[in-house]
Structure 1
Amino acid sequence: MRLRPEQLPAHLEKSLHTAYLVTGDELLLTQECCDQIRRACRTQGIDEREVLEVDRSFDWNQLLAAGNSLSLFAERKLIELRLGTVKMDQKSSAALQEYLQHSDGSNILLVSCGRLDSRSMNAKWVKALDGAGAVIQVWPVERRQLGPWIAQRMQSRGMQADRAAIELLADRVEGNLLAADQEIEKLRVLVGERPIDADIVASAVASSARYDVFKLIDAALAGNAGHALTMLNYLSAEGGEEIPMLGALCRELRTLYQCATAIEQGNGIERVLDNARVWDKRKALYKQCLQRHSSQALGNLLQLSARIDPALKGQSGENGKLLLTEMVAMLAGRPFLPN
């Protein structure tokens, strides 16, 4: 069974399955999903919990032993298997499948891990968990979804905020849901039941935006030049090194150039993107960018990158930061320097 995070509470009210997989990189939301499963276990009288932290030296016989061991204090227990970022191999996959095959349903297994790609989601161990219980994929909250997410979060705590306040808070904490939740709780304590406006948010909330070069690239691919340049300025002000940022941009540009060349040779865009191993979630961004840029335009950007590198290193008389800014703006389709 596949469940979205928002479907989990209703599911747990009706039934408690013997196995759950919670996967995703958004720490706050994955923690909350796991907490909901733990509470459901306690409601069912399952108070004992055994936690298994998996690392490279983990002995998978521990999982089988946990499932077979009897407790002196309870008939059932919750077994938490925390994979973190450890990759499942054939041996670990077999051990997990063996556990599920021999489980009599008395214990509950909660497996948590980071985001799984599409290939991993089709692995045998994931399908085994899917068949025995439920798989919950947690996706990051995109910027356009962040305002409604904050509004719903505030409403659930009895708070009132106008649209300007919500948007300002979203700007201050962009990409960092843990910070957003903490700031909402701080506002609840400071303001109480009074309506919240933008001035209150501006004075009470610190800037906790979680920017990185990959979000910068995605904004540029989407044609959102203003947002991309804001992130570039933020990263530079925070001490982000321009050379690694340039390297990440160049890697993306090379992939885009190869895709544009293949499409202009008559290949279908879906096949081209698959061959370039573009993730499904990023295909829409690539399509937007490839509609704006020909292979020649992308080649010009790569040539520009060859000027930026020595400029940033002080090996030429050009302004490297200005050229990097222009490169991002051009990728987003909004150049500002004269040809």
Structure 2
Amino acid sequence: MLDALAEPEQARLAPIYLLCGDEPFQLGSAADAVRCCARAQGYTERKVLFAGRDFDWQQLATEQDSLSLFAEKKLIDLRLPTGKPGDAGGRALRAFAERPVEDTLLLITAGKLDRNQLRTRWVTALEEAGVLVQIWPVKHGELPGWLRRHMQARGLQPDAEAVALLAERVEGNLLAADQAVEKLLLLNGPGPVDAAAVRASVADSARFDVFDMVDTALAGEASRALRMVFGLLEEGVEAVVISWALGRAVREILDMAMAVARGQPVEAVMAGARVWDSRRTAVRAALTRHRAGYWGGLLQRADRLEFMVKGMAAGNKRDELVQLVCAMAGQRPLPASFTAPG
């Protein structure tokens, strides 16, 4: 259904797109395709609305009726994770579908809609006025073909053994598959890819486990995060890599915490920051656990750790690393007498 958007500047855009499904990578890719096409055709103003439990559906009508202050065309990017807008939301969505506004495009991304939800009046109204796209998970037998096409689209030319090995490695996780493709591009550049290149990439996968450790800390699981830190160090991952990942996460959380402090809802802030669904529980926990001032203090600590691991400041970098992870997880600082293993 979205193949028509392959040439963004020439594609004919519908006034409404309802994308639904529980496969986050494909859902995100489909939404990106609509956004890219809209941007190419002059929809330069974008308003993100997160329709959570306490969402005021009057905001949708307000955006529909308001003239754009900065551009001639506007994209309303509505996130509906549960796929259940309630009575007020259903009425608002039907009203939008009944009188779509010229030069205003409504993009709705929702979780999986079951058979009964697909028959509701708001869904049928949106489908009649625009386009409904259901995103289905890639079946096990279809994964090698999907991987081959995805790699080719990124400029890679994999042989059959490379595709089979990568399919076995990612086990149906398309986000992991996309990350693996990005890594192959980073290590080898575009061109032919054989099984040896995939094996070499997989062998270096410990660096990507750093991000799991960061999210574990953000979720508040200090003990588990520390075990992961020590495991990474034992596997040979350099402290500078771990320090970089922690500092990056603290900066991201600080930016979002400042937006929350300005009165924006947490869910809307995460949507605007394009936080993956798989990370939202951890990021939400971090944002609700501490305010912006706390994360500002942690940023100074992360910067100090970075100086230590680069040899630009004195101190015990392993102890400082432990203290930062504990603080990110919301735990009290460890006693000065504590010494990290190793």
**What is the TM-score with the length of structure 2 in the denominator?**
0.56
Shift of residue 52, structure 1, vs aligned partner: 0.6
| Match among 175, 186, 189 for residue 186 of structure 2 | 189
Among the aligned pairs, what percent are the same residue? 42
Q: Deviations over 1:33-63 (max 9, x none)?
A: 1111111111211100111101111111111
CA–CA separation in structure 2 for the residues paired with 1:79 and 1:158: 32
Shift of residue 195, structure 1, vs aligned partner: 2.9
Shift of residue 27, structure 1, vs aligned partner: 1.1
Q: Deviations over 1:260-319 (max 9, x none)?
A: xxxxxxxxxxxxxxxxxxxxxxxxxxxxxxxxxxxxxxxxxxxxxxxxxxxxxxxxxxxx
CA–CA separation in structure 2 for the residues paired with 1:76 and 1:11: 15
Misfit runs of 4+, over 6 Å: none
| Match among 75, 90, 94 for residue 91 of structure 2 | 94
Residue in structure 1 matched with residue 61 of structure 2 by the alignment = 64
Report the CA distance shift for 1:131/1:11 in structure 2 as closer, same or farther (over 3 A). Answer: farther
Contact conserved, 2:155 with 2:191, CA < 8 A, in 1? no
Residue in structure 1 matched with residue 115 of structure 2 by the alignment = 118
Contact conserved, 2:4 with 2:11, CA < 8 A, in 1? no
Contact conserved, 2:76 with 2:105, CA < 8 A, in 1? yes
Secondary structure at 2:67's aligned position in 1?
Answer: coil
Amino acid at match of 1:92: G
Shift of residue 95, structure 1, vs aligned partner: 1.3
Alignment of 1:153-232 (within 5 A): 153-193=150-190, 195-205=192-202, 206=205
Residue in structure 1 matched with residue 16 of structure 2 by the alignment = 19
Shift of residue 105, structure 1, vs aligned partner: 2.6
Residue in structure 1 matched with residue 106 of structure 2 by the alignment = 109
Q: Deviations over 1:168-187 (max 9, x none)?
A: 10011012111101111111
Report the CA distance shift for 1:96/1:57 in structure 2 as closer, same or farther (over 3 A). Answer: same
CA–CA separation in structure 2 for the residues paired with 1:116 and 1:103: 23
Alignment of 1:233-252 (within 5 A): none
**What is the TM-score with the length of structure 1 in the denominator?**
0.57
Secondary structure at 1:200's aligned position in 2?
Answer: helix
Report the CA distance shift for 1:80/1:126 in structure 2 as closer, same or farther (over 3 A). Answer: same
Secondary structure at 1:20's aligned position in 2?
Answer: strand
CA–CA separation in structure 1 for the residues paired with 2:52 and 2:146: 34
| Match among 55, 78, 81 for residue 81 of structure 1 | 78
Amino acid at match of 2:179: Q
Residue in structure 2 matched with residue 233 of structure 1 by the alignment = none
Q: Deviations over 1:108-137 (max 9, x none)?
A: 000111111111112111111111110111
Secondary structure at 1:37's aligned position in 2?
Answer: helix
Q: Deviations over 1:53-101 (max 9, x none)?
A: 0111111111101101122222320011101125232221111111222
Residue in structure 1 matched with residue 211 of structure 2 by the alignment = none
CA RMSD between the two structures: 2.1
Contact conserved, 1:28 with 1:177, CA < 8 A, in 2? yes
Segments of 5+ residues of structure 1 without an aligned counterpart are 209-339
1:150 aligns with 2:147: yes
Contact conserved, 2:5 with 2:37, CA < 8 A, in 1? no
Contact conserved, 2:63 with 2:76, CA < 8 A, in 1? yes
Residue in structure 1 matched with residue 30 of structure 2 by the alignment = 33
Shift of residue 194, structure 1, vs aligned partner: 5.2
Shift of residue 8, structure 1, vs aligned partner: 4.6
Report the CA distance shift for 1:10/1:132 in structure 2 as closer, same or farther (over 3 A). Answer: farther
Report the CA distance shift for 1:7/1:172 in structure 2 as closer, same or farther (over 3 A). Answer: farther
| Match among 116, 137, 142 for residue 134 of structure 2 | 137
Contact conserved, 1:30 with 1:138, CA < 8 A, in 2? yes
Report the CA distance shift for 1:64/1:82 in structure 2 as closer, same or farther (over 3 A). Answer: same
Amino acid at match of 1:31: G
Q: Deviations over 1:226-285 (max 9, x none)?
A: xxxxxxxxxxxxxxxxxxxxxxxxxxxxxxxxxxxxxxxxxxxxxxxxxxxxxxxxxxxx
Secondary structure at 1:195's aligned position in 2?
Answer: strand
Shift of residue 6, structure 1, vs aligned partner: 4.4
CA–CA separation in structure 1 for the residues paired with 2:8 and 2:129: 15
CA–CA separation in structure 2 for the residues paired with 1:8 and 1:39: 9
CA–CA separation in structure 1 for the residues paired with 2:75 and 2:175: 26
Contact conserved, 1:55 with 1:86, CA < 8 A, in 2? no
CA–CA separation in structure 1 for the residues paired with 2:167 and 2:10: 32
